Amino acid sequence: MSSSWLGLRRACVLLSVTAAARAGSGAAQPAGSDVPGARAGSRGERGGGGGPGAGAGGRGGGLGGTAQPARQGRLGPSSGSAKESLELKDIFIAVKTTRKYHRTRLDLLFQTWISQARGQTFIFTDWEDQELRLKAGDHMINTNCSAVHTRQALCCKMSVEYDKFLESGQKWFCHVDDDNYVNPRTLLRLLSAFSHSQDVYVGRPSLDHPIEAADHVQSDGSKTSVKFWFATGGAGFCISRGLALKMSPWASLGNFISTAERVRLPDDCTIGYIIEGLLEVKLLHSPLFHSHLENLQRLRGESVLQQVTLSYGDPENKHNVVSVGGVFGLQQDPTRCLDVNLRAVLHVSQIVARQMITQKTPGAIVNVSSQASQRALRDHAVYCSTKSALDMLSKVMAMELGPHKIRVNTVNPTVVMTDMGRINWSDPQKSAAMINRIPLGKFAEVDDVVNSILFLLSDKSAMTTGSSLMAQICWSTNLLTISHSRLAKETPLLFL
C-alpha cells in the first residue's frame, strides 16, 4: 500500500469529522429530563466534581466521559419545573480579548461561531480598534482597562462585562475567552434546562479540588477563610440573571474590582468566591466546557458536537486537533470514502440550502475536492471516483441553487503541507517527481488553500459558480492564475 494512499485515507477520516460537525450544528436536540453534562459538587461532597474528569485540564483532565450526560444538581424546590422556553437572543455572550489578539484570534471567531450569534456576542477589549468597530459595531466594548495580563486588568474587564450584562436585560450571562470556539446551539440546549430566575452557575473547574481564600479579618487580627469551587474563565461559564442580580452588592458599579482586591484573586476565581463563598450557591460542574489547558486529542470524535466550548493552543497539542481513530481496512474503504467524500456533502448541503432558501439568504458553498477528481491515479480508484462525483455534485448544485442566489464551487488542491502532508512528502527523493510537475516548483501551504476558499466565498467571485478552482496546478492542462490579495471579506458563508 503506497504512503500517498495511506495519507488520502486519513484525509477521508478528517473530512468526515468536518462534515459531521456541519451536519450536527443544523439543529439542536430537545433538552431531555437531565441537564446535559451538568453536575453539582455539594459542600459535603466536594469530591463530586473532582477526581478523574473534574478539571478543564487539571489533574485527570476528564475528557473520556464527556459523551455521557452527568447527574443534575438540585436547584431548589422548583427544580423539577426549571426548564423554560429560551431563545439565542436571551443569552449575553461576552468575549474577553486584548489588542494584540484582534487579528490573530478575533478574525477567526467572526468567520466561524460569532457569525451564528452576532446579535448576542459582545467583544470586551482594551483598545479602540476602528477595524474591529466596523465589524462589531456597538457590540465592541472598549473597557479602557490595561492591556497587561494582570489580576487587576482581568478583573477590570470582568467588572465591565458584568455591568453591561445587567444593562442588557438578557436572561443569561456567558463569559468566554478569545481562544474559545462556542457552539451556540449546544449552549442554548444546556441553558434551556434551567430557569434564568433561579440561581444557576455552570462551568468547568480547572482544578480537582476547591480553593481557599482569606475572607474576613477578626478583631484579634486573625483571618477567616472560605473554600469554594470556581469555573475557569478559559473554558467559559454561564450565570443566570437571577443569580447575577444577587451578586450586585459585590460585583456591580466597580464593586467587583474591590471585592477581587480584598481577596486578591483573579477574575474567574472572584466570580466563584462571590457565588459559592458568599452566596453559597453551588457551581454546577459541566464537562462540556473546554479550555486551552486541555489536549482535545483525548476527546472522542463522536462527542465533539455535544460540547459547548472548545479551545486551542495546548502545549501537548499545538492546534488542539481532535483525532479520529486509525486507518480503514480495505473492506471499509469503498463505503467509508463514499460516505465522507460524497454522501456527507450531499446531506449537509441539503440541510443548509433548505435553510438559506427558506430565509431567502444568498450565499456561497465551497466543497473541498482534489485534482485527483480529474486524473486517473493508480491505486486510487475509490478516492478518484468519489472526488470526481463530488465535482459533478457541486456543478448540479450550482445549477439548481443558482436561481436562489446561492453559488456552489469546489477547490481542488493536490499535495498540501499539512502536518500529514509534511510526513508523507518530506523526503526529497519522493517529492521531486511531483514538484517537477508544478510550475511554481513547490507544494501548497494550508493558507494557499484557505485563500482559494475565501476567494470563492467572497463577493470577489460573485459571478463564479459551478467551477473547480485548481489551488495548485499539477496535472491540469489549463493554467489558472488568481490573485488572492484582500479577498477575505465578511460574507455569510458555508465551508464544507
Tell me the catalytic residues.
268
CA distances from residue 256 to 112, 126, 129, 161, 226 in whole angstroms, order as listed: 32, 18, 26, 11, 18
Question: How does strand 121-125 pair with strand 140-142?
Answer: parallel
Handedness of CA 20, 23, 27, 30 (dihedral sign): negative
C-alpha 195/C-alpha 197 separation (Å) is 5
Q: Which residues contact 273 (CB under 8 A, 6 or more apart)?
A: 213, 226, 228, 230, 259, 263, 265
Reading the block at residue 312, the C-alpha cell is 486551542
C-alpha 364/C-alpha 408 separation (Å) is 6
**125 in Cβ contact with 92 (< 8 Å):** no
Reading the block at residue 451, the C-alpha cell is 485563500
C-alpha 217/C-alpha 344 separation (Å) is 63
**286 in Cβ contact with 190 (< 8 Å):** yes
Cell numbers 458563508 correspond to 493
Residue 331 is which amino acid?
Q
C-alpha 279/C-alpha 200 separation (Å) is 12
Phi and psi torsions of 313, nearest 5°: 100, 20
C-alpha 386/C-alpha 374 separation (Å) is 11
Phi and psi torsions of 309, nearest 5°: -130, 150
**285 in Cβ contact with 38 (< 8 Å):** yes
- With residues binned 3-state (H G I as helix, E B as strand, rest as coil), the percentages for the chain, rounded to 5, are 45, 15, 40
C-alpha 476/C-alpha 392 separation (Å) is 17
C-alpha 327/C-alpha 330 separation (Å) is 9
Residue 76 is which amino acid?
G
